[in-house]
Amino acid sequence: MNSESIVQKIWDLCHVLRGDGVSYHEYISELTYLLFLKIAEENKTENLIPDGRRWSDLVAYKGDNLLDFYREMLTYLGAHASSEAVRKIYAFPTTVFSHSENLKAVIDGIAKLDWHSITFDGMGGIYEGLLAKNSQDARSGAGQYFTPRPLVDCMIKLLQPRLGEVIQDPATGTGGFLISADHYVRSQVSEKKYKSNPPRYEGVEIEKGTYRICLMNAFLHRLESHLILGDALTKDAEDLSPADVILANPPFGSKAGSARKQRDDIAYATTNKQLAFLQHIYLGLKPGGRAAVVLPDNALFEDGVGRKIRQDLMNRCDLHTILRLPSGIFYSPGVKTNVLFFTRGRKNTGNTRAVWIYDMRHDAPRYGKKRPLQAADFSSFEAVYGVDLEAMKLRKDQGKGGRWRCFSREEIAEKFDNLNISWLSETEADPEDGLTEPDDISAAILLHLRAALSEIEAVADELAESSETDK
C-alpha cells in the first residue's frame, strides 16, 4: 500500500464522523492524537508513551466506555508523559468524538492499514498529504490560510536559507514554511555538513489545535524547532531570536479585541492583522536578514497608518521585489495577494531605492481545484528575479507591455506610497465563475460573510479606539 492510498483511506474515515457534525479540520486535529500513538508503535519509540496509554492499549480495550478511557488517556499524556514533546502534543486535550462506536471505527480503520511498508520519513509525507487534503476541501475553510506548496517552494528558493541561520515563521500554522525550508537546506548540503551546523527553526502559532498539528508535523519531519503557542504581536515574541530569514503568510482580517497588550516596539497601532505582522517581521530581522511575506492588496494601498508602515518598511529595509499573485491561489474567492521580498538594512533610513514588480495576474488561468497552482507557474518570475546579488543587478525593465517593471522610490512617493501598482489589464477569470457544486457555492458564500464580518469588526475596533482617545 503506497502513501497516497493510506492518505485517502485515513481521510475517508472522517465520513464516520460527518453525522456528528465534525469538520475535516477538527478531524485532522483529532488524528494527531491517534496517529502519534500508532506511529510510536511502528517506529519503536513507545518509550515516549507511558505504559497503559499506548496504541496497543487503545486497540485492545474491550469495555463499554471506550470514549471515557480515551479521554483519560489524552488527559494523562498531556499532564504526566515524561517526554516534553508528548506533553505539548497532548496539552489542552479535547476530543471531537461523542460516541464510542465512532471512535472504535476510526481506530480499527487506522489499525487495518499496511503501516509496515512506510518509513519514518514516509509518515511525514502521509501527514502532509492529509493537511493538503484538508486545505483543498471547500467545507473545511482551511484553504483560507493554507499556503500552496509551489508558492512556498518558490519563496524559499529565492530567499535561499542556509546552514546555521535562524529561520522563522511568526504565523506558523501547520509548519509548512519551516519544513519546506529544512527540505531546501538539506538538499543543498551533505548530511554531515547539515548535522555540524543545522539551521535554527522558530515559530509562533496562536490557535491550540493548529499548534498541535504543527508540533506533530515537525516531529514527523525530524525538525528541531522552537515552537511557541502564543501571539507574535504580544510579549510572547520575546522568546524569538533576531532572524536571518522570515517566511510568513500572516492571517487575513482584522485584529479581534483582546485584553492582551500589543508589543511596545510595534510603533504603529492598527487593527489590520497583516500590517501589524509586517511590522513584527521587518523589526525581527537581523541587519542583512531576508524576508518573503504574503500580503493582500489592501495592505499595499491602505492610507493613514498603512502608508506610515510602508514608509517605515522602505526606510528600514530594501523592499526590492513584489510579486502580484492572481486570485484563486487561496480558496477565499476574489482574494488578491502579493509576495513582498525585502532585506533589512544596516541603517534605518533610505534603504529602498527602487521596487521591482512582477505581474502574474495578466492573462492568468483560472486557478482552483481543476487547475491547481504548479511550480512551473513561477518559472518566468524566478528567471527574472535573479538567484544572487550579482544576478539581481542585471534585472531589465520589460516596459509597459511586459510583466516585469521597476519603479524608483521617488515614483512610489509620488503615488503616496501606494504599492498596489498595476499597468497591465487584469484579465484573469473570476474564480467564482467556475463554481458548480453546491458545497463549493455555499463555502464561497460563507467566506464572503466571514470577510464582511471581519470588515465590521475592523470598523468597530477603530470606533472603540477613537472613543478611548477622545476621553
Q: At what angle do helices 3-12 and 100-111 cross, to 10 degrees?
A: 170
Determine, yes or no, domain membership for 189: yes
In the β-sheet with 225-229, what is the strand arrangement from edge to edge? 225-229, 200-205, 166-169, 243-248, 285-296, 337-344, 317-324, 354-359, 404-408
pLDDT in tens, 35-63: 889 988 887 788 889 999 999 999 999 98
Residue 285 and residue 192 share a domain: yes
C-alpha cell at 288: 542583512
Q: Which of 107, 132, 157 is the last residue of a domain?
A: 132
Share of the chain above pLDDT 90, in %: 51
C-alpha cell at 346: 544596516
Residue 120 and residue 221 share a domain: no
Q: What is the pLDDT of residue 428?
A: 47
Question: What average pLDDT does the segment 459-466 reach?
Answer: 57
- Judged against a pLDDT cut of 50, whether residue 409 lies above it is answered with yes
Largest Cα separation within the chain, whole Å, is 74
pLDDT in tens, 76-111: 999 999 888 899 999 988 898 988 999 999 999 999
Residue 175 and residue 27 share a domain: no
Determine, yes or no, domain membership for 446: no
Residue 173 and residue 63 share a domain: no
Question: What average pLDDT does the segment 152-157 reach?
Answer: 96
- 269 band by pLDDT with thresholds 50, 70 and 90: confident
Residue 244 and residue 120 share a domain: no
Residue 414 and residue 278 share a domain: yes
Question: What average pLDDT does the segment 312-332 reach?
Answer: 89
User: Would you say 11 and 25 are in contact if contact means Cβ atoms under 8 Å apart?
Assistant: no
Q: Which domain holds residue 78?
A: 3-132
Residue 166 and residue 35 share a domain: no
How far apart CA 138 and CA 332 sit, in angstroms, is 9
Residue indicated by cell numbers 498539528: 213
The lowest-confidence range among 2-16, 63-77, 397-411 is 2-16
How far apart CA 48 and CA 55 sit, in angstroms, is 12
Q: Which of 132, 164, 186 is the last residue of a domain?
A: 132
- Judged against a pLDDT cut of 90, whether residue 402 lies above it is answered with yes
Residue 121 and residue 48 share a domain: yes
Residue 356 and residue 210 share a domain: yes
Q: Which of 67, 100, 132 is the last residue of a domain?
A: 132
Determine, yes or no, domain membership for 92: yes
How far apart CA 204 and CA 234 sit, in angstroms, is 11
Between 278 and 431, where is the model more confident? 278
Domains: count for the chain:
2
User: Would you say 253 and 287 are in contact if contact means Cβ atoms under 8 Å apart?
Assistant: no
How far apart CA 468 and CA 470 sit, in angstroms, is 5
What are the phi and psi torsion angles at 19 (to 5°)? -65, -20
We report the CATH number of the domain holding residue 280 as: 3.40.50.150
358 beta partners: 323, 404
Between 391 and 335, where is the model more confident? 391
User: Would you say 193 and 218 are in contact if contact means Cβ atoms under 8 Å apart?
Assistant: no
55: number of Cβ within 10 Å: 21
How far apart CA 152 and CA 146 sit, in angstroms, is 10
The lowest-confidence range among 79-93, 352-366, 437-451 is 437-451
Determine, yes or no, domain membership for 153: yes
- Judged against a pLDDT cut of 80, whether residue 466 lies above it is answered with no
Q: Which of 177, 218, 210 is nearest to 36 (CA)?
A: 218
How far apart CA 248 and CA 281 sit, in angstroms, is 9
- Judged against a pLDDT cut of 80, whether residue 440 lies above it is answered with no
Q: Tell me the H-state helices in 261-388.
A: 273-284, 298-301, 305-316, 379-385
Determine, yes or no, domain membership for 459: no
Determine, yes or no, domain membership for 445: no
- Judged against a pLDDT cut of 90, whether residue 439 lies above it is answered with no
Q: How many residues does the chain have?
A: 471
Determine, yes or no, domain membership for 468: no
User: Would you say 337 and 329 are in contact if contact means Cβ atoms under 8 Å apart?
Assistant: yes
Residue 403 and residue 378 share a domain: yes
Residue 82 and residue 149 share a domain: no
Q: Which of 91, 237, 259 is nearest to 171 (CA)?
A: 237
**Global pTM value:** 0.84
Residue 161 and residue 125 share a domain: no
We report the CATH number of the domain holding residue 27 as: 1.20.1260.30
Determine, yes or no, domain membership for 180: yes
